[in-house]
Structure 1
Amino acid sequence: MNRRSAMSQAFRLPEILEIARAEGKVTVEDLAERFNVTVQTIRRDLAELAELGRLERVHGGAVLPSGVSNIGYEERRGLNRSAKVAIAKACAREIPDGASVFMNIGTSTEAVARELLHHKDLLVVTNNMNIANILVDNPDCDIIVAGGMVRRADGGLVGTLTMKAIEQFKFDLAVIGCSAMDEDGLLLDFDIQEVGVSQTIIAQSRRVFLVADQSKFKRNAPARIASLQEVDALFMDHPLPAKLERKCRDWGVEVHIAEDAGGAD
């Protein structure tokens, strides 16, 4: 039997991490070939490493987690895709027809936008050009794009101009995402300019909905957006840590756990 095919998971995992450190990313197909095992075996290995916080799952593979820079936007679209859809459906059910809504930058908020295509009489303001393009297909939704500097990596608009545009409104509710969340309930991000925009959104909204999958607890980011205490409702795919769940009850934060949320693709 080939040495690699007989290698147990305990031996494979450190080697997978070494490959990820050397190459920046690993793919399921490549690892299956390297170790002479099935792709299902490698997916289980990557799921284990993701659960331990050592790698982040992306579509077709995994990348090293970072505390100072975000992974690529297209990669994030593939991360926990089925969970994001389930979270988005749960969030969209709580958004009434006839509401004014702000939606910020993120793949989770984009997923919510797709679930709003049949809502009626919406006014959506966004600094995410991807969301504007999605909602163009809803004839009963008026769309306003908050101007500013375009961030080419994800189609987001950030900076002082964006913040000044948002300050002209008072929204019924905001749907926001974040890059990371710690167990004390702090919402974190990588881009200081985006943090300023998110803080302005929260200030200008009567209610704030946060959409976040469980991977946010396995990441770290340097910039503080706000406390979960400033959010009205949290939509997730997995129950919160017990300590944070108690805090949410004390703060009056509604916690919605999406049903039928799957794992990473």
Structure 2
Amino acid sequence: MNAGDRREEIISRVRTQGEMSVEALSGMLGVTASTIRRDLARLTESGELTRTYGGVIAVPAESESTVDERSHEAPEVKRALGTWCAHQVPAGSHVLLDAGSTTAQIARVLRDTTPLSVVSTGLTSLQQMTDSPGVEFTLLGGRYRSISQGFIGPITEVGLEKFTFDFAFLGADAVTAEDGVCEASPEQVRLKELMSRRAAHVFVVAHAAKLGQRPFHAWADLGSGWTLVTDDSAAAEQIEAFEARGIRVVTVDAMGAGHPPGD
């Protein structure tokens, strides 16, 4: 078991047990106490766990919404964002779609752009493209998360590393200029970072209510050079914070037309 898998197992066991000691984790996972202490240091630094005297407890997390719940959040805005994103993709492109309700809206429009090669980590995109004969669709497998209807983990990452893409469209639980893309777990943000490295053009698609929010403690640092696609209700100061860090911002109106900030 590598370090990343071991830390995910620690999180799972602590959340199940409520509180565990270093010695108990060491015995269960077959590694030294010093290795466990290093793992716990990383997990407490990322906000996943909280240290106690001799052990660790889980941090109560804000509830993560299901895909079905998210599909009812700003549906018209997501449709507009999806329309703009899909219109950036010329026929013949190789496209990577993240799991989620917003990227499903991109898939809904992309199905008519043919020929096209699409790889996705989410069932929502597959559902939109099942009867589109001009789209060559690849679904990356791995560990299934029913809450997001997507796949994550080492198997997903290995499959992803076999591809490169012209365009990658990533969803987010939240986005900040300082820390990047927020997700519910380190495993999810590790996948986001890998996705961003496999594409020539990277778009993070998030409606304005997600900007500046911090619902969880795991963050994907995408560096600079990516594009934030949001709706035109975003405040000027929010947009300026991203631009100051070298991140391009496109705001999309209700008709799906994109505008540079200030237009």
The question of 1:163 aligning with 2:160 is answered no
Give the residue type in structure 2 aligned to 1:226.
D
- Find 1:226's aligned residue among 212, 218, 221: 221
| Count of aligned pairs | 196
For 1:111 and 1:184, how far apart are their aligned partners in 2? 27
- Find 1:257's aligned residue among 231, 251, 254: 251
What's the CA shift for 1:144?
0.7
The question of 1:198 aligning with 2:223 is answered no
What's the CA shift for 1:114?
0.5
Per-residue CA deviations over 1:68-106 (Å, capped at 9, x if unaligned) read 331222111100101100111111111111110110111
Question: Counterpart of 1:21?
Answer: none
What's the CA shift for 1:161?
0.5
- 8 Å contact kept, 1:150–1:158: yes
For 1:163 and 1:183, how far apart are their aligned partners in 2? 26
Give the residue type in structure 1 aligned to 2:133.
P
TM-score (norm 2): 0.68
Name which of structure 1's ranges 209-218 and 160-169 shifts more when overlaid on structure 2: 209-218
TM-score (norm 1): 0.68
- 8 Å contact kept, 1:97–1:121: yes
For 2:79 and 2:179, how far apart are their aligned partners in 1? 23
Question: Counterpart of 1:3?
Answer: none
Gap regions ≥5 residues in structure 1: 1-65
**Secondary structure at 1:245 match in 2:** helix
- 8 Å contact kept, 1:183–1:241: no
Name which of structure 1's ranges 97-106 and 186-195 shifts more when overlaid on structure 2: 186-195
The question of 1:77 aligning with 2:53 is answered no
- 8 Å contact kept, 2:166–2:201: yes
Identity %: 24
Give the residue type in structure 1 aligned to 2:112.
H
- 8 Å contact kept, 2:70–2:101: yes
Higher relative contact order, chain-length normalized (CA < 8 Å, sep 6+) = 1
Q: Which has the higher helix share?
A: 1
**Secondary structure at 1:88 match in 2:** helix
Correspondence list, 1:94-133, <5 A: 94-133=88-127
**Secondary structure at 1:142 match in 2:** strand
Gap regions ≥5 residues in structure 2: 1-59, 257-263
What's the CA shift for 1:229?
2.4
What's the CA shift for 1:107?
0.7
**Secondary structure at 1:78 match in 2:** coil
Correspondence list, 1:21-100, <5 A: 68-100=62-94
- 8 Å contact kept, 2:102–2:171: yes
For 1:124 and 1:71, how far apart are their aligned partners in 2? 26
What's the CA shift for 1:255?
2.0
What's the CA shift for 1:191?
2.5
Q: 1:251 to 1:120 in 2, by over 3 A?
A: farther
- 8 Å contact kept, 2:101–2:124: no
The question of 1:186 aligning with 2:180 is answered yes
What's the CA shift for 1:137?
2.2
What's the CA shift for 1:180?
0.8
For 2:253 and 2:190, how far apart are their aligned partners in 1? 32
